[in-house]
Amino acid sequence: MRRTHSHHFLFALLATAILFTPAYAQKLNGNSTAAAKAADSSPLKLTLPNKEGSLRFAVIGDTGSGTDKQRDVGEMMIKYHALFPFEFVLMMGDNMYGGEAPQDFQKKFTEPYRALLNQKVKFYATLGNHDQALQVNYKDFNMDGKEYYRFKQGNVAFYSLNSNYMDKKQVKWLEDELGRETAEWKVMFFHHPPYSSAKKHGSDGQLREVVEPIFLKYGVDVVLTGHDHVYERIKPQKGIYYFVSGAGGKLRTGDIDRETGLTEKSYDRDLHFMLFEVAGDQMYFQAISRTGETIDSGVIPRK
Amino acid sequence: MNKKRYILLWLLVCLLILASAVAVAQSTQNAALAPPVVVSPADKAAIETFQKQVKTYIELRNKVKENAPKLSKESTPEQIHAYRTALQTSLRNARTNAKRGEFFRPETADFIRRTLKTEFQGKDRQELRDKIFETETQGVVLRLNYPYAQTAELSEMPATLLAKLPQLPKELRYRFVGRNMLLVDRESDLIIDIMPEALP
């Protein structure tokens, strides 16, 4: 009996080891060298179903610090890309801290994500409170020269808003676009979080006062934000799922206030990024730390 | 009999608690929504003058922009940098005689100050003030025709306030630096006008 148990244990150990070897990662993504490098150091754990034909994307926020830790996140993203080949990345703003000379674009964007850019992964940015207006014209941010814009991928419509300056004109544009929206999923992404438990900034009540009624009226499913340098999944608010993903390049350790009653799951110990997969009526998500640890995962059903 | 009185008394107490809870909730809700700003005929005239000034600026800006290199939506960082620098230089040269209060004339400034006061009053609006004052604006020189420092943070303009201020075209932005309100050219980041001590 004891012998059988130890056999089972050894078998499980072996299977786990095989599953997380570089060779297996490579097999999942063809002959990518990045994939081979990917699983060198830590076993990668993908909780997403990785279904054929699903829409895959990543999310990063408050990235533009140009630090080694930002680059670490970029490297972890390419490792996961080998397992889960996401097509594009949504950026939650503060894409560039402290200056926007050409060399800043290199240090704070191109270099940390070079491997992803080389693999033709597209980045879609939104403007944060540290971003200059002309970023909208930067080719690799794919903003189409606009402060707020919409694009559609599969059955999902993505709306990037400029939460720095939510004037009447933008509100009208949002209402008009949502009014004729036909996509099954509606995802908003912008910088300032309508709900947040972080002590530094927290929930943006004024922005929420204006945008939440519109989100409710037009059946928005998911809202992705940054600004607070933490990870937080908010308990669904009036049926909408809110995320704060603002630690892609800057971190405020211990910034989450545990007493707000808003938090479903949070993480404020290291930088992170997120992965999403939309398969029909299900949206799966996984939040991953700079070191590859899964800090949250789950599934959101469509309304 | 005593028991009946006792129950009645309890019911009365419960009703009183319920009524006061509803009243408190209602007053909190009302306080959250700042009262609308009263716009008098004089205010309307002030806003019209302000918008005329803005229109004149945009005409000048469009003329000046013709001399700047073209910027596509597929630009490189170098092209963006060249465009911003050229636009800044051309606009500064075109507005060497710019004066403080050119846009924020006394009547317009008065209307904006009242709007800000209304929007920012009340305990519940403390969050608004906190957000503006926590913005890291070190390095911003409050000087006309000077660019807003690139290293400084931009204060978020409260959406509820923007709904009440005179609307601006996409080329211009309101911005706060401490209690001061600025009018800034969005692309060049040049400070076009300054209203000191705008916030109550």
Q: Could you give the ipTM of this predicted complex? A: 0.84
Q: Which residue has the higher pLDDT, B133 or B26?
A: B133
Q: Which of B150, B174, B118, B31 is nearest to A132 (CA)?
A: B150
CA distances from B197 to B117, B135, B153, B178 (A): 11, 16, 19, 8
Q: With respect to residue A1, please indicate whether it lies within any of the assigned structural domains.
A: no
pLDDT tens digits, one per residue of B29-78: 333 445 567 789 999 999 999 999 999 999 999 999 988 888 999 999 99
CATH code of residue A269 = 3.60.21.10
Q: Which of B115, B31, B33 is nearest to A206 (CA)?
A: B33
Residue A29 pLDDT level (bands cut at 50, 70, 90): very low
Partner B contacted by A172 (CB < 8 A)? no
Mean pLDDT for chain A overall: 90
Mapping DSSP onto H, E and C, the string for A194-215 reads CCCCECCCCCCHHHHHHHHHHH
Task: Report the C-alpha gap between A208 and A237 in whole angstroms.
Answer: 11
Q: With respect to residue A37, please indicate whether it lies within any of the assigned structural domains.
A: no
Contact between chains at A139 and B74 (C-beta distance less than 8 A): yes
pLDDT of res. A127: 98
Residue A42 pLDDT level (bands cut at 50, 70, 90): low
Q: With respect to residue A199, please indicate whether it lies within any of the assigned structural domains.
A: yes
Q: With respect to residue A10, please indicate whether it lies within any of the assigned structural domains.
A: no
| Percent of the residues in chain B that have a pLDDT greater than 90, as a whole number | 60
pLDDT of res. B7: 67
Residues of B in contact with A207 (CB under 8 A): 156, 158-159
pLDDT of res. B30: 37
When pLDDT is averaged across residues B19-27 and rounded to a whole number, the result is: 43
Tokens standing for residue B136: 């890291």
Residue A299 has pLDDT above 70, yes or no: yes
- Nearest Cα of chain B lies from the Cα of A40 at a distance, in angstroms, of 34
Tokens standing for residue B155: 């204060």
Q: With respect to residue A239, please indicate whether it lies within any of the assigned structural domains.
A: yes
Partner B contacted by A139 (CB < 8 A)? yes
Task: Report the C-alpha gap between B70 and B14 in whole angstroms.
Answer: 71
Q: With respect to residue A224, please indicate whether it lies within any of the assigned structural domains.
A: yes
Angle at B183 between CA B168 and CA B181, to 5 degrees: 115
**Taking a C-beta distance cutoff of 8 angstroms, is the pair A214, A174 a contact?**
yes
Partners of A189 in the β-ladder: A160, A224
Q: Which residue has the higher pLDDT, B89 or A7?
A: B89
pLDDT of res. B150: 86
CA distances from A254 to A193, A197, A230, A248, A267 (A): 18, 11, 9, 16, 8
Contact between chains at A210 and B163 (C-beta distance less than 8 A): yes
Identify the burial level of A122 via C-beta atoms within 10 angstroms of its C-beta, where 0-12 means exposed, 13-18 middle and 19 or more buried.
middle
Residue B18 has pLDDT above 80, yes or no: no
Mutate to test the interface with B, among A97, A129, A173, A250 (most CBs of B within 10 A): A129
When pLDDT is averaged across residues A247-267 and rounded to a whole number, the result is: 97
Mutate to test the interface with A, among B127, B157, B162, B184 (most CBs of A within 10 A): B162
Task: Report the C-alpha gap between A44 and A220 in whole angstroms.
Answer: 32
Task: Determine the structural domain holding residue A235 and report its residue range.
Answer: 44-301
Residues of B in contact with A205 (CB under 8 A): 127
Q: With respect to residue A29, please indicate whether it lies within any of the assigned structural domains.
A: no
Residue A292 pLDDT level (bands cut at 50, 70, 90): very high
Residue from the list B75, B150, B168 with its beta carbon closest to the beta carbon of A137: B75
Contact between chains at A105 and B77 (C-beta distance less than 8 A): yes
DSSP type of residue A109: I
Number of structural domains found in chain A: 1
Residue A132 has pLDDT above 90, yes or no: yes
Contact between chains at A134 and B173 (C-beta distance less than 8 A): no
| Percent of the residues in chain B that have a pLDDT greater than 70, as a whole number | 80
Residue from the list B81, B134, B163 with its beta carbon closest to the beta carbon of A102: B81
Residue B124 pLDDT level (bands cut at 50, 70, 90): low
pLDDT tens digits, one per residue of A187-234: 999 999 999 999 999 999 999 999 999 999 999 999 999 999 999 999
